[in-house]
Structure 1
Amino acid sequence: MDSRELALKLARLIEEKKGEELVIIDVRGRASYTDFILICSARSARHVQGLAEFIESEAAREGIHPLSVEGLTQGHWVVMDYEDAVVHIFYEPVRKVYDLEGLWSEAPRLEIEEGKA
């Protein structure tokens, strides 16, 4: 599976569990640590945790495992490193503070058709 396919698979899982305001940023050639950054919001700390746990367990069914998962205990910002794709799940107020989309404003976005990541 190439990095784009991985990013789209993770995006489908985010959509399935009702992650909100999903953005996929293509950082190939711009970042040394990954090819795609996925950013989404959740309605509460519990939703952040549930979304991360769902992504990890469903991806594992297909043999896809993260290198690391950080922030699960607090549930305000979870980072899941799948090497070629890094998932950031934010409790909405925290997302606005860090503004990762702004940091990568010049990087192209991978377009997602509604409901068809």
Structure 2
Amino acid sequence: MTNPIASPDDLKPYLIPAFERKAKSITAINVKALTSYTDTLVIIEGSSHRQVTSIAEHLIKSLKNQKKKAIGVEGVKEGEWALLDYGDVIIHIFESEKKSFYDIEGLWADAKRIDLSEFKDAYRSEETDDEF
């Protein structure tokens, strides 16, 4: 991997666009010690096919604007399971039913989870501020 992910801050370009599209859930898993093909898996859950497609397209556009180009992209238009491969980070975006069926988190149960609470808290407080 050319730019290893060392901290949650390194994941900001990959996470912020997903939080902007109000993903149902987001999990980041450090798999660097367990596999050679990537350092981090990000699993994002959308509540519908339309939201999965929206999150994927927004991520692709946001990352492209930051000069990060995907090595591979699959499933965006179908909206059930999109895969965005950025080398050191692989992003899975699932519709809820598909996420439960494939259980990527369960497959990587031995891998260390990356704490994303700072992102969740930041976006919750922004939503609260917008309401008032």
- The answer to whether TM tops 0.5 is yes
**Offset, 1:37:** 0.1
- Asked if the contact 1:79–1:86 (Cα under 8 Å) also holds between the matched residues in 2, the reply is yes
Matched, 1:76 2:85: no
Q: Match of 2:5?
A: 3
- Asked if the contact 1:7–1:38 (Cα under 8 Å) also holds between the matched residues in 2, the reply is no
Deviations 1:56-110 (A, max 9, x none): 0011111011111101121100000000000000000000000000000110000
SS in 2 for 1:29: coil
Matched, 1:58 2:85: no
Distance, in Å, in 2 between the alignment partners of 1:116 and 1:31 is: 31
- Asked if the contact 2:52–2:80 (Cα under 8 Å) also holds between the matched residues in 1, the reply is yes
Q: Match of 1:102?
A: 106
**Offset, 1:6:** 4.4
Matched, 1:46 2:46: no
Q: Which residue identity is paired with 2:25?
A: E
Distance, in Å, in 2 between the alignment partners of 1:48 and 1:64 is: 20
Q: TM-score, normalised by structure 2?
A: 0.82
Distance, in Å, in 1 between the alignment partners of 2:121 and 2:67 is: 24
Q: Summarize the Cα distance change of 1:55–1:115 in structure 2 as closer, same or farther, 3 Å threshold.
A: farther
Q: Percent identity?
A: 28
The structure with the largest alpha-carbon Rg is 2
Distance, in Å, in 2 between the alignment partners of 1:9 and 1:69 is: 17
Segments of 4+ moved more than 6 angstroms: none
Please, which runs of 5 or more residues in structure 1 have no aligned partner?
none
Q: Which residue identity is paired with 2:5?
A: S
Q: TM-score, normalised by structure 1?
A: 0.92
Q: Match of 1:88?
A: 92
- The alignment covers a number of residue pairs equal to 117
Deviations 1:19-65 (A, max 9, x none): 12100000012111100000011011111111100000011111011
Q: Match of 2:130?
A: none
